[in-house]
Structure 1
Amino acid sequence: MTEENKRNAIAYVRSDIAILSEQTDDNERRAYHHRASAGLFAIRAGGLITLEELEAIGNELGAANEKASRQVLAAHP
């Protein structure tokens, strides 16, 4: 059951990361960034992922946030 919980928790966070990467509005970008970050740290606090997994998914989150930031700037010159 723990492995299934882990997969589901990671999938949930990654879905927020995917939505984050598509944002062109700064308020939405910040909301999805905070939501994904909170979810990521919650699954770490719950012991479902390792520090290495936290770092890897955190890097995905950072890349998505950078992409969204560029899209926000492009949408609102």
Structure 2
Amino acid sequence: VGIPAKSGVSGGIIAVVPNQAGIAVFSPPLDEHGNSVRGVKVFEALSEKYGFHLFDLSLGRCRFASALQDAGPLEGHGA
């Protein structure tokens, strides 16, 4: 999904948006690669919504924090 991440066999995934944030999710159902099914969907949604990518040099220092303040819940997730 364009951002560095590491998953574990327990269903956890941690990811880094360079110079902005670290994000962790936990949801045990795993896919055939051993990654959390819902966790991958969360990171795909965040990457698509905010344009996160490791090689995007245009990311401003506070873009992620500003986006979180302005954002509501992700589609399909309760408040």
TM-score (norm. length: structure 1):
0.32
- Which structure carries more relative contact order (alpha carbon 8 Å, separation 6+)? 1
